[in-house]
Amino acid sequence: MTDAGHAALAGAPFIEGIGLSRAYGGVRALHNASLAVLPGEVHALVGENGAGKSTLIKVLGGRVRPDSGEIRLRGTSVSFSGPEAAHRVGVQTVFQELTLLPSLTVAENLFLSREPRSRLTHLIDRRAMGRRAEELLTGMGIDHIDPLAAVEDISLSERQLVEIVRAISHEPDILFLDEPTSSLVEREVVWLFEQIRRLRARGTAMVFTSHRWNEVRSIADRITVFRNGGDVGTFTDISEDDAVSLMTGRHVETLYPPVPALTASAPIALETHHLASAHLHDVSLQLHAGEILGVGGLAGHGHRALFFTLFGADRATSGTITVAGKQVSIRSPHDAMKRGVGIALVPEDRKTEGLLLRMSVRDNMTLAILRGRLSRMGFLRRAEEKRLSSDLSRQLRIKTAGPHIAVGSLSGGNQQKVLLGRWLLAEPRILLLYDVTRGVDVSTKAEIYALIHRLAAEGKAILFYSSDAEELAHLTHRVLVMREGRIAAALEGNAITAEAIVSAAVRDTSPASGRGTHAA
């Protein structure tokens, strides 16, 4: 695109979707949706899970063909046979599902199908590829990802960064980003927004989705609200309250309910002394019955190790765990779930670590009590299973066509409820909740918050990790901030703010250590 071209097109949409519809099976994912993206604008799509944002991006990015409707590119009607066809006309998309090939290196992924060739042999020039990948990454301010590392060996957030870098490296005219920030930590989000501003200055049009309102507010030029598969309005200025009521038909003030009061005399439910494992060093903490203890900090600083060690999924190398005053030995999740211990872990990655996607909603709900109260002499108590699972669906308002439906066909929010429900059935005393609201829409978030508060009020002890500092600040009684596998700070009462959590997480981190310093 030349500058003259920009001038000519200013005001006219770069890409336009008109009356797009798309159904999967009997479900209308997108219904008569329209969107116009102007050159050099950052356009946010907001809406609940299942409102059609991702489907619209898939359609405009060439990944999915619409059942009806029209796509216009610079005023000309187009139809994409696949993402490659979209790439050829300058449309790049970072899809929600990561598309990197796990066993290839970062460099190989970045230059996939456009590998630098040796002039002599025309074979792939691996040295040049590594060098150019390094230049590309450092040129965008990322110096902590090794271009020669296999993608499967780098963290989820690093993969997301590589995915974004790859899309930007094609110098697109239009860049779609579907929930780019959901697996990023604060610093990486700052980095991403710098890239977005830089591209905007160059005239690139960008469309992104996010469930975090402060991100939308800080970067978007225009906001389009989606509901039930269609757009309900595009705004240059809209308050969160108004946006949420458009998205859901309700108001935002109920999102964070007041934290339930903590009884001073509540007994200690869980205590650790100098607990250590592979990525965890000398962690001593106390968790009281009825308490919501937040855990925060940058990704990769030992939160996961803490949760998985407490649950017996990682092996503790030293230190002790005490439950209700008694020292316990937890060497497997089975030990953690035993009567007298009663620990439950809801893991972060529900698709790989939580759910059996092909199995039914009911099978998934009752998995943790399968060998407990659902078993009579090794036989399944099927009537009891039916009753428990339908009660649970009702209580948690899980939207499904029936308990026999494969859980993989549910929306993200409902999948998360199924997983939470599984652990409620196990009647734990201590709940370890690891980033349970990630990728979940506002309504479901509100329901999960209310559920957590209700459980705390009933005397359950809750350890709550979140990558969202705002959420930690609003939901918890105390917050422990972790850094390099240790507890770096403890915040209480009015000292708990999102800013305090973030600053405690990054304090003293030397720039040389590399982690999260790519904004340099």
Chain contacts with another protein (rule: CB under 8 A): 248, 250, 254, 257, 311, 313, 332-334, 336-337, 345, 347, 352-359, 363, 367-368, 370-371, 374-375, 378-380, 382, 391-392, 395, 397, 399, 401-402, 406, 408-409, 422, 424-425, 427, 443, 446-447, 450, 454-455, 458, 460
Spell out the residues 6+ positions from residue 184 whose beta carbon is closer than 8 angstroms to its own.
157, 160, 161, 192
* Contact status, residue 235 vs residue 225, Cβ threshold 8 Å: yes
Q: For the stretch 469-484, what's the b/e string if a residue is b when 16 or more beta carbons lie within 10 angstroms of its beta carbon? A: bbbbbbbbbbbbbbbb
- 392/481 with CB nearer another protein: 392
Backbone angles phi, psi at 360, to 5 degrees: -75, 165
The distance of closest approach from Cβ of residue 359 to another protein in the complex, given in angstroms and rounded to an integer, is 5
The distance of closest approach from Cβ of residue 39 to another protein in the complex, given in angstroms and rounded to an integer, is 37
- 220/336 with CB nearer another protein: 336
The distance of closest approach from Cβ of residue 146 to another protein in the complex, given in angstroms and rounded to an integer, is 26
Angle formed by the axes of helices 412-425 and 442-457, to 10°? 10
The distance of closest approach from Cβ of residue 426 to another protein in the complex, given in angstroms and rounded to an integer, is 8
Q: Which amino acid is at 220?
A: A
Concatenate the DSSP letters of all residues of 385-448 into one string: HHHHHHHHHHHTT---S-TTSBGGGS-HHHHHHHHHHHHHHT--SEEEEESTTTT--HHHHHHH
CA pair distance 437, 464, nearest whole angstrom:
11
Q: Is 284 helix (H, G, I), strand (E, B) or coil?
A: strand
- 75/402 with CB nearer another protein: 402
The distance of closest approach from Cβ of residue 81 to another protein in the complex, given in angstroms and rounded to an integer, is 20
CA pair distance 369, 367, nearest whole angstrom:
6
The distance of closest approach from Cβ of residue 325 to another protein in the complex, given in angstroms and rounded to an integer, is 21
The distance of closest approach from Cβ of residue 109 to another protein in the complex, given in angstroms and rounded to an integer, is 21
- 70/314 with CB nearer another protein: 314
What count of residues does the chain have? Answer: 520
The distance of closest approach from Cβ of residue 408 to another protein in the complex, given in angstroms and rounded to an integer, is 4
Q: HSE (CB half, 13 Å, CA atoms) of 263?
A: 12
Question: Sign of torsion, CA 402 407 410 416?
Answer: positive
Residue ranges of alpha helices (H) inside 236-302 are 240-248
The distance of closest approach from Cβ of residue 251 to another protein in the complex, given in angstroms and rounded to an integer, is 10
Spell out the residues 6+ positions from residue 191 whose beta carbon is closer than 8 angstroms to its own.
141, 142, 161, 518, 519
CA pair distance 312, 446, nearest whole angstrom:
30
Question: Sign of torsion, CA 316 318 321 327?
Answer: positive
- 182/443 with CB nearer another protein: 443
The distance of closest approach from Cβ of residue 257 to another protein in the complex, given in angstroms and rounded to an integer, is 8
Bridge partners for 462 per DSSP: 292, 431
CA pair distance 51, 477, nearest whole angstrom:
33
- 40/413 with CB nearer another protein: 413
The distance of closest approach from Cβ of residue 145 to another protein in the complex, given in angstroms and rounded to an integer, is 25
- 91/420 with CB nearer another protein: 420
- 112/457 with CB nearer another protein: 457
- 16/435 with CB nearer another protein: 435
- 101/359 with CB nearer another protein: 359
Q: What is the DSSP letter of 512?
A: G
CA pair distance 311, 301, nearest whole angstrom:
18
Could you tell me the CA-to-CA distances from 356 to 25, 353, 359, 385 in Å, in that order? 21, 9, 5, 17
- 29/129 with CB nearer another protein: 29
The distance of closest approach from Cβ of residue 397 to another protein in the complex, given in angstroms and rounded to an integer, is 5
- 160/443 with CB nearer another protein: 443
Sheet holding 15-24, edge to edge: 27-37, 15-24, 68-73, 76-78
